[in-house]
Structure 1
Amino acid sequence: MQKRPYIFQQLTGVKTVDFEFLLTTRVSVRSVLVAAMPRQVHLWFRSNFWLVLAWSCFWACSDYCLASDELLYTHELVAAADDTEFLVQIEAGAPGTSWEESGRECGVLKVVIEARYDQHVLLFGGEHVTSYAFLAGPLPRGRHTLQILWDKTWTRDLQERPAVLSLRAAALDRKNEAQEPLLRAPILYLRNNTIGRFSDVPLILYWERQHSPSPRLAYTVIFSNEDGGTDTERLMARWGRTTDIEWCYSYTQDENNPIEQYQGRNHETLPFRGRKEGWHPILYDVTTNNNFSDSLSDPIDFRMRPAPVEARLEGRSRESVMDQFPWTYAIMAEEMIREEKLEYPADPGSPNVSDLRNYAYLDVCSEQRGTELYFAVLLKGNERWFRSDHGDPGSGIERSGCVRSTVELPPGTRPHDIRTLRIHCRPAPVPEGKMPVPSPAAEIRSVLRLFLLEKDYRPGQNLLERVVGRRLRPGQSLALSPDSIPR
């Protein structure tokens, strides 16, 4: 990194800032200034000597603070007009990193525009060269220097520098309606107690056009985990993952005024009244279950501006977005290892979560009225049914729509070992103060997916895709056999 020239270094030859030296050489420094400057400038320096001293020390200290940052890449952005924004894509890799090992979880990049901090980019792909897309701007008309630095602050044990191999930047057009989801994407500040711990990190930001209860543009974040909220065992049974998926911001344009909302503490939908950069709302992760605030008095400069991807979720589970980015499964699993949340040795009869490769993952679409579902898997040569809920009455799924669950199986289970999937229906608990639903039933529309994870944690082949169209009443179940699976 190029060092800033210090006034006192240039004038006196001092290589480092020595406050005692500066104080004791005040006369000689002034003598140099007097000889080199016109009388008017000399008089100004004479009356503002301590201001000059403070300014010099500030720049010296700022260089010291930036000593942990190493310049990796420089690019010039050309803004043809005021408030120009860019979609930036880099190809980068981080040798020697591993999400499951503390101190070298991933490469951490800091993006600086015109010497001002803009955002961080985390290299989740490890040593593999991977594409990362983020947003920059709005910027005033003209040329702007974008620098990518290696921020060494958070990965104390990482020795090899990340490599940024290429960078492409494309200016966005506010008149193009197709680019609106990029231009309104939220800026996400990480929760203060997760910075440096690589926990509950935003992995994917996606957007969708929702039509109920009214048309709106909605954004959702997939986090690597949640430190609070639903316990890990029920996350796997009820949601089929240990990542956390939370909607964060929505925008609706009515006839008169836009309606902007975000998900606040306790999952409450609140009007957005916070700051923006351009059209981008600024949100802060403030709870251990990754709910947000639109204001924060003491945010740490660690924010992310990932380019959002489109998700079309009609007839699909939210978790299917992870399937589009298979590396998210490895991050999910390795964070469980690093945080020592897994059971060793694995016991499929215990509700404790084990290696995430021991599970069958399944997506089922249904409409429920006063019921909840749980699932069971039977293996060939084994008469024992392995259940998603492990017998826990609080681990059923009462939600309608397309949902994901998991069933823990013995370690080493292979796809062709699966003999039968059974869908069970039972009464849902009646909320306090509510009346039981008359004639409760679940309409099982389809099974979309049934898969195991490969050795590298990526989703394996789909073992079962079936249109069902069957009604189940409490106490009833439905058995399905996977499609033919080659050994």
Structure 2
Amino acid sequence: MKPTIHEMKRDVFDQSVEYTVDAPAKGLYSLDIQATSHSNWERKGNESNLLVVEVMNEDNQACHYHIVTYMGEERYCYKLFLVFIAKGSYKVTISNKEVPVCERTIVTVHEVNLRELKLSPLETLAHQHAPVLYGRNHFSSFDNCYTDTPLALSYFMTELSNDIIEIEYHYVFSHEDEGTPGQLLMAKWGRTLDIEYCYRVKWNRKTSEIVEARYQGPHHEDRAFTGQYVGGSHRPILQTRTTNGNFDHVIDSEYCFSIAPEIFWDHQTEPREWFMRKRPDINLVMIKEAERQLAQNSIPMNQIASPTNYLYAYCFTDKEESNSVIDFVYQLGGKEVSSSHDFYSPVYGFGSYSDSFSNFTIAFEYDEVQPCLSSLCVRLLEGENITINKIEFYMLREDGMLHLVERTEQPIILTKESSMISIGGLSNE
């Protein structure tokens, strides 16, 4: 069905604008708003504008969601997930809210598009249970207008039986203000993004009932979900509670996000960060926030000049069977260094990936690509042995694009007896 699009004129405003859009049939819809703003996620005090979007049906029933214009002057499509809506006309009002944490600037709406989502049955199920997220209000009433803003929602599914399917959702934030320091985020997970397990639901497809619902509470506690759902749906309502991206079902925030679960994570075959290869927009926000907050950070372990100074190693291993930990040893500035910074503490564990998934990402600082790769060794830090089936190395460009520079061609087997192997003889892709 042809979507309703408003693109005949640009609406430049500092307060509010209105549109009328039409849904040709009942279905799952996204409200896509292409906009620019005179803000800059890199610039302190001028990071974004907060847009309030009201969608009202013909019976004057309305829903309200919010958009943080983190892409600033770059024309960008901000998407609001509206779930099921009925056939009919809808009035859309977009307001430029004044908030105390950021300077309110002019916003230009270039296009408004009510788009019906064409999904498979399993994708539809994932969208029907996707959590609505209220914004964090720890340092201020509107933290996410300038820091740790939610950018995307990923999920994976597990068939538990013929009737029961489990869906687990992970929110992607631009960073985490507290928790793992910046250098360790890169060393352990290959990003300064914060990707957090948010909500997990077991669904009986035969009876169409929720069997169990849980979420990640403060201190990483796995809690039973006892909160509210969006009226007439199975979408739980949660709020970002902590400065390291944990959640709460108790709501005391005045702004909220409705983000569709667009990223499917095949956790059996892919690292959790695999989506970064195809989402330069997310990477770009990560770069800007890291350069604003971490380049001159007062805590040495938090200091990162820029994520563009790192190589990103996507590792595919049999780790689930071995529970081993690896890192990389190489030359940087004429000195031998390790991607893990040879770091270990009871609080953070190793300065390298040590969780249970077999495919993961490690990022390490470099000065020149080829000298770095030619000196590169992979090292077993913990465990009896591990087989690394493949490693792909990427450069991160300033525009957020990841560029493949090298990959290993043969499996690498590390043991206690042979704990460090040179992989400098890589082949160009």
Instruction: Assess same fold via TM > 0.5.
Output: yes
Within 5 Å, give how 1:101-116 maps onto structure 2: 101-114=43-56, 116=62
Is 1:260 the counterpart of 2:213? The answer is yes
1:451–1:461 CA contact under 8 A, matched in 2: yes
Is 1:357 the counterpart of 2:308? The answer is yes
| Unaligned ranges ≥5, structure 2 | 1-12, 345-349
1:273–1:294 CA contact under 8 A, matched in 2: yes
1:2-33 CA distance string (max 9 Å, x none) = xxxxxxxxxxxxxxxxxxxxxxxxxxxxxxxx
Secondary structure at the counterpart of residue 452 of structure 1: strand
Secondary structure at the counterpart of residue 235 of structure 1: helix
1:386–1:409 CA contact under 8 A, matched in 2: no
Between stretches 417-426 and 469-478, larger displacement belongs to: 469-478
- Report what 1:242 is aligned to: 192
Q: Distance in 1 between matches of 2:410 and 2:392?
A: 11
- Report what 2:266 is aligned to: 312
Please give the TM-score of this superposition, normalised by the length of structure 2: 0.80
1:154-213 CA distance string (max 9 Å, x none) = 67545432323231332789x955412222211001111261552111111112213579
Is 1:119 the counterpart of 2:75? The answer is no
1:441–1:474 CA contact under 8 A, matched in 2: no
Q: Distance in 1 between matches of 2:117 and 2:271?
A: 33
Q: Distance in 1 between matches of 2:399 and 2:237?
A: 35
Shift of 1:111: 0.7
1:47-83 CA distance string (max 9 Å, x none) = xxxxxxxxxxxxxxxxxxxxx96223412344866xx
Alignment equivalent of 2:359, drawn from 386, 391, 402? 402
1:112–1:118 CA contact under 8 A, matched in 2: yes
Aligned length: 393
Shift of 1:388: 0.7
Query: Cα gap change, 1:154/1:306 in structure 2, threshold over 3 Å: closer, same or farther?
Result: farther
Q: Higher strand share goes to which structure?
A: 2
- Report what 2:248 is aligned to: 293
Within 5 Å, give how 1:304-383 maps onto structure 2: 304-309=257-262, 310-339=264-293, 341-343=294-296, 352-368=303-319, 369=322, 371-378=324-331
Q: Distance in 1 between matches of 2:123 and 2:397?
A: 37
Please give the TM-score of this superposition, normalised by the length of structure 1: 0.71
| Unaligned ranges ≥5, structure 1 | 1-67, 428-439
Q: Which amino acid aligns with 2:152?
A: I
Q: Distance in 2 between matches of 1:443 and 1:207?
A: 27
Query: Cα gap change, 1:422/1:305 in structure 2, threshold over 3 Å: closer, same or farther?
Result: same
2:132–2:235 CA contact under 8 A, matched in 1: yes
Query: Cα gap change, 1:482/1:72 in structure 2, threshold over 3 Å: closer, same or farther?
Result: farther
Query: Cα gap change, 1:467/1:336 in structure 2, threshold over 3 Å: closer, same or farther?
Result: same
Secondary structure at the counterpart of residue 275 of structure 2: helix
1:416–1:485 CA contact under 8 A, matched in 2: no
2:284–2:398 CA contact under 8 A, matched in 1: no
Q: Distance in 2 between matches of 1:230 and 1:85?
A: 37
Secondary structure at the counterpart of residue 97 of structure 1: coil
* Structure number, greater radius of gyration: 1
Shift of 1:140: 6.6
- Report what 1:232 is aligned to: 182
Identity %: 21
2:284–2:399 CA contact under 8 A, matched in 1: yes
- Report what 2:5 is aligned to: none
Q: Which amino acid aligns with 1:244?
A: D
Shift of 1:448: 3.2
Q: Distance in 2 between matches of 1:482 and 1:100?
A: 38
Within 5 Å, give how 1:32-431 maps onto structure 2: 70-78=15-23, 85-94=28-37, 96-114=38-56, 116=62, 118-136=64-82, 143-153=89-99, 156-157=102-103, 159-170=105-116, 176=121, 178-193=123-138, 195-196=142-143, 197-211=145-159, 215-254=165-204, 257-258=209-210, 259-277=212-230, 278-296=233-251, 298-300=252-254, 302-309=255-262, 310-339=264-293, 341-343=294-296, 352-368=303-319, 369=322, 371-378=324-331, 384-393=335-344, 394-400=350-356, 401-410=358-367, 413-414=368-369, 418-427=373-382
1:207–1:311 CA contact under 8 A, matched in 2: yes
Aligned-residue RMSD, C-alpha: 3.2
1:75–1:145 CA contact under 8 A, matched in 2: yes
Query: Cα gap change, 1:299/1:417 in structure 2, threshold over 3 Å: closer, same or farther?
Result: closer
Q: Which amino acid aligns with 1:146?
A: V
Between stretches 330-339 and 124-133, larger displacement belongs to: 124-133
Q: Distance in 2 between matches of 1:327 and 1:78?
A: 28
